Amino acid sequence: MASRPEFVQYVADQLYGAGEIAYRKMFGEYGVYCDGKIFALICDDQLFIKITEAGREVCPELEEVPPYEGAKPYFLVEDVDDRDMLTKLVQETCRELPMPKPKKKRRRRNGEA
C-alpha cells in the first residue's frame, strides 16, 4: 500500500517548527528532508526516522524497524500527532546527520548542447 499524499502533507505540517521541511516521491514512497538533509522515509503511511544517538536520547522508547524489506532499521514514529516531540526529535536527529554531498556537474560530451 502506497502512502497517501494527505498523510505525507500532514506529517510535513507537523514538522513545521523543525526547519525547512520538504518531501519527494521516491520509489513509490516518500523521502523527507529538513534543511536539505534527508532524515526520514514515509512508507505505507508510517513515519520512519533515521536512527542517531541524539534521536535515541530524545525518544528511547521508539521501536527500530526497517521501513521496507531489505532496508536497515529506522525509528518507527507512530504518534505523528505530538508536534513538540516530533520537532525535537527531528532537530536533534538532523544535527547529527552530515550535510549532503554537493552534486557533481555533468560533463557534456562532444556535440551535446
* Helix (H/G/I), strand (E/B), else coil: 82: coil
Order of strands, sheet of 63-65, starting from the edge strand that comes earlier in the sequence:
21-26, 29-34, 37-43, 46-49, 74-77, 63-65
pLDDT of 111 reads 60
**Residue 1: band (very low, low, confident or very high) from pLDDT cuts 50, 70, 90:** low
Per-residue model confidence as pLDDT tens digits over 21-79: 999 998 889 999 999 999 999 999 999 999 999 999 999 999 999 999 999 999 999 99
Helix (H) or strand (E) holding 24: strand 21-26
User: Kind of pairing, strands 37-43 and 21-26?
Assistant: unpaired
Quick one: cell of 73? 532499521
| 96: amino acid identity, one letter | E
Residues 23 and 31 sit within 8 Å (Cβ to Cβ): yes
Q: State the pTM of this model.
A: 0.86
- pLDDT for position 103: 75
pLDDT digits (tens, 9 = 90+) for 81-93: 999 999 999 999 9
Give residue 109's region: left, alpha or beta (phi > 0; psi -120 to 50): beta
